């Protein structure tokens, strides 16, 4: 195996024996083969589109399969094998549809578009199609940067899709870009162009998801979220899928079972639609990587709706459920919605009733809900505070949290910021400083949490609005600095989206991606001023200098 798609990759270069995330060698290899299969399907999907053939089941399959391979989503070998088998079948059907429509199948198709094997030979095939199959390190770097951006796009597209929002232009781009990664004649410049174009679609997909979420559940609003517990049995829901949460809340009404959020599900509390549920008690715990302790002390069942799963300990494995693209061998899985039906969470609710209430690990409240609509409602106050000098600078500290000790930097950085600065955040990075009581500036909290990682879109909308209000030509003239933490592939698309919007001088940490070759990193540094981080003191001097 060779995987270097996340920030925690072994030795900062690549996982080669087993994933730091817990992914086994065979699952890693099979995920590579699944991506390879998607690339082959995409070759036909591009040709089919030219003939006016667009197959919704192909779009959905590619989207869900990309999402399946995101870090901490699916560790289940059999699920990946089943996906590859389905992919080969869909690829063949698409090829037949092209022939039927009068298209000609090229004689020199890439192996990704022609290979086939029984499931028993997948692992053997997988060994030759991974990341290292591209020998030139710059081409490999660009292909992987693009592929990881596509994984992020696919994840956000899937959330929107679940709420019945979709955009065929996004699917067409995913297919075009996947097919392009097979093209050995494509010059590096064209690959750079596709990477930047991915940023454009990153903005579009986040806008689509924002529309899906806010139309369905209302605009997030200033909310105090309880972090203590009540004395009832309860279910913990993690991941990012709001539809799963909604159905769980409906199904737990009147059962005596409470519902708490974990990790990236925290921002669900900010949506008006979920406030009516009396049993929606609060948020339990912190970011994803602390689940091994927090799932244990929660005592009740836990449902993982999207990526953010770590291999479970035996102490809570029998209380753990996956759904959607998430999977882990030996962990119970809640099946997809059958036509027009909701998911069936009754098994989880029945188990919850037999479990003791959660053990309290903290008490109090955290404040959030500062997505674009809420911040723009406070725009006068914010603009006044900037004009009067009460707010000197904003720091966008969106992104991810993670296990590594070097992420303490972000807590220390937040604490060391001058009191006349405000942090704009989204994603699970906030857990490094959202309980530090950093105070407020004239009633404006010094940590403004917009929501999940996809709500980084809100931070861009806010920046563009401020640019307009202050009559500036360039978003980089605003008193906003970017100190972003990344972990997995959704953060990659958030970064590419910010670059597309013209944001310069983003600092990215705790380490730069291992998949950036020195030359590709140079392109990002020279064109966009991307930089890493060093230490709090020196970085503050740079930011405030």
- Asked if 23 interacts with ligand SF4 (CB under 6 A), we say yes
Count other C-beta atoms under 10 Å from residue 27's C-beta: 24
Tokens of 397: 């500290």
Q: How would you class 69 by CB atoms within 10 Å of its CB: exposed for 0-12, middle for 13-18, buried for 19 or more?
A: buried
Stretch touching ligand FS2 by CB under 6 A, among 56-64, 85-93, 205-213, 484-492 = 484-492
| Strand ordering across the sheet containing 258-261 | 280-283, 258-261, 234-238, 302-304, 320-323, 332-334
In the range 24-53, which residues lie near ligand SF4 by CB under 6 A?
A: 28
Measure the CA–CA gap between 356 and 345, rounded to whole angstroms: 19
- Asked if 453 interacts with ligand FS2 (CB under 6 A), we say yes
Stretch touching ligand FS2 by CB under 6 A, among 138-146, 353-361, 487-495, 526-534 = 487-495
Sign of the Cα pseudo-torsion (386, 391, 397, 401, in order)? negative
Q: How would you class 225 by CB atoms within 10 Å of its CB: exposed for 0-12, middle for 13-18, buried for 19 or more?
A: buried
Q: How far is the CB of 7 from ligand FS2 (least distance, A)?
A: 9
Measure the CA–CA gap between 501 and 199, rounded to whole angstroms: 8
- Asked if 71 interacts with ligand SF4 (CB under 6 A), we say yes
Tokens of 147: 């592929």
Residue 162 contacts which entry, ligand SF4, ligand FS2, none (Cβ below 5-8 A, type-dependent): none
- Asked if 308 interacts with ligand FS2 (CB under 6 A), we say yes
Measure the CA–CA gap between 206 and 201, rounded to whole angstroms: 8
Stretch touching ligand FS2 by CB under 6 A, among 168-176, 416-424, 467-475, 488-496 = 488-496
In the range 368-407, which residues lie near ligand FS2 by CB under 6 A?
A: 399-400
Binding residues for ligand FS2, how many (CB under 6 A)?
14
Binding residues for ligand SF4, how many (CB under 6 A)?
13
- Asked if 452 interacts with ligand FS2 (CB under 6 A), we say yes
Residue 487 contacts which entry, ligand FS2, ligand SF4, none (Cβ below 5-8 A, type-dependent): ligand FS2
3-state secondary structure of 238: strand
Q: How far is the CB of 10 from ligand SF4 (least distance, A)?
A: 6
- Asked if 488 interacts with ligand FS2 (CB under 6 A), we say yes
**How many angstroms separate the Cα of 162 from the Cα of each of 82, 158, 235, 273?**
22, 6, 22, 17
- Asked if 91 interacts with ligand SF4 (CB under 6 A), we say no
Cα angle for residues 286, 289, 293 (degrees, 5° grid): 75
Measure the CA–CA gap between 482 and 397, rounded to whole angstroms: 6
Stretch touching ligand SF4 by CB under 6 A, among 17-25, 192-200, 447-455, 494-502 = 17-25
- Rounded to the nearest angstrom, the gap between the alpha carbon of residue 2 and the centroid of all alpha carbons in its chain is 21
Which x/- pattern over 434-473 shows residues binding ligand SF4 (rule: CB under 6 A)? ----------------------------------------
Count other C-beta atoms under 10 Å from residue 476's C-beta: 15
Stretch touching ligand FS2 by CB under 6 A, among 15-23, 209-217, 318-326, 486-494 = 486-494
Where along the sequence are the contacts to ligand FS2 (CB under 6 A)? 240, 264, 307-308, 399-400, 427-428, 452-453, 487-488, 490-491
Where along the sequence are the contacts to ligand SF4 (CB under 6 A)? 3-6, 8-9, 15, 19-21, 23, 28, 71
């Amino acid at each position: 195996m060779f995987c270097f798609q996340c920030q925690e990759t072994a030795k900062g270069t690549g996982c080669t024996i087993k994933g730091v995330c817990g992914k086994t060698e065979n699952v890693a290899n099979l995920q590579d083969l699944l991506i390879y299969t998607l690339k082959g399907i995409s070759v036909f999907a591009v040709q089919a589109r030219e003939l006016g053939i667009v197959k919704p089941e192909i779009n959905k399959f590619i989207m869900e399969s990309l999402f399946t391979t995101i870090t901490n989503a699916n560790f289940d070998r059999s699920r990946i094998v089943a996906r590859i088998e389905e992919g080969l079948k869909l690829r063949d059907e698409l090829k037949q549809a092209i022939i039927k429509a009068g298209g000609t199948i090229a004689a020199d198709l890439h192996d990704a578009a022609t290979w086939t094997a029984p499931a028993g030979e997948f692992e053997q095939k997988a060994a030759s199609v991974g990341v290292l199959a591209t020998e030139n390190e710059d081409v490999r770097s660009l292909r992987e940067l693009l592929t990881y951006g596509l994984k992020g796009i696919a994840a956000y597209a899937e959330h929107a899709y679940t709420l019945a929002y979709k955009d065929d232009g996004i699917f067409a781009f995913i297919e075009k870009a996947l097919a392009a990664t097979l093209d050995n004649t494509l010059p590096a410049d064209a690959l750079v162009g596709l990477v930047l174009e991915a940023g454009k679609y990153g903005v579009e997909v986040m806008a689509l998801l924002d529309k899906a979420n806010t139309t369905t559940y209302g605009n997030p609003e200033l909310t105090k979220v309880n972090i203590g517990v009540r004395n009832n049995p309860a279910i913990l829901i993690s991941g990012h899928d709001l539809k799963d949460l909604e159905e769980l809340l409906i199904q737990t009404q009147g059962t005596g079972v409470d519902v708490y959020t974990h990790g990236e599900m925290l921002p669900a509390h900010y949506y008006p639609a979920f406030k009516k549920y009396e049993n929606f008690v609060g948020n339990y715990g912190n970011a994803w990587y602390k689940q091994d302790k927090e799932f244990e002390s929660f005592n009740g069942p836990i449902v993982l709706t999207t990526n953010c799963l770590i291999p479970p300990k035996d102490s809570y494995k029998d209380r753990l459920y996956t759904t959607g693209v998430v999977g882990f061998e030996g962990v119970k899985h809640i099946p997809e919605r059958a036509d027009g039906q909701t998911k069936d969470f009754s098994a989880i609710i029945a188990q919850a009733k037999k479990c003791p209430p959660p053990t309290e690990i903290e008490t109090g409240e955290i404040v959030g809900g500062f997505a674009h609509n809420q911040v723009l409602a406070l725009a006068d106050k914010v603009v006044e505070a900037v004009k009067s000098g009460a707010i000197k600078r904003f720091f966008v500290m969106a992104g991810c949290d993670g296990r590594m000790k070097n992420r303490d930097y972000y807590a220390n950085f937040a604490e060391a910021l001058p009191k006349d600065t405000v942090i704009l955040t989204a994603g699970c990075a906030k857990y490094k400083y959202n309980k530090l009581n950093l105070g407020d500036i004239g009633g404006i909290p010094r940590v403004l949490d917009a929501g999940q990682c996809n709500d980084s879109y809100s931070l861009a909308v806010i920046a563009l609005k401020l640019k307009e209000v202050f009559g500036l030509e360039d978003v980089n003239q605003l008193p906003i600095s970017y100190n972003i933490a990344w972990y997995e592939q959704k953060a990659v698309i958030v970064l590419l989206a910010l670059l597309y919007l013209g944001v310069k001088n983003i600092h990215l940490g705790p380490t730069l991606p291992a998949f950036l070759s020195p030359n590709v990193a140079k392109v990002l540094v020279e064109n966009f001023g991307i930089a890493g981080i060093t230490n709090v003191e020196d970085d503050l001097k740079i930011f405030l200098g």
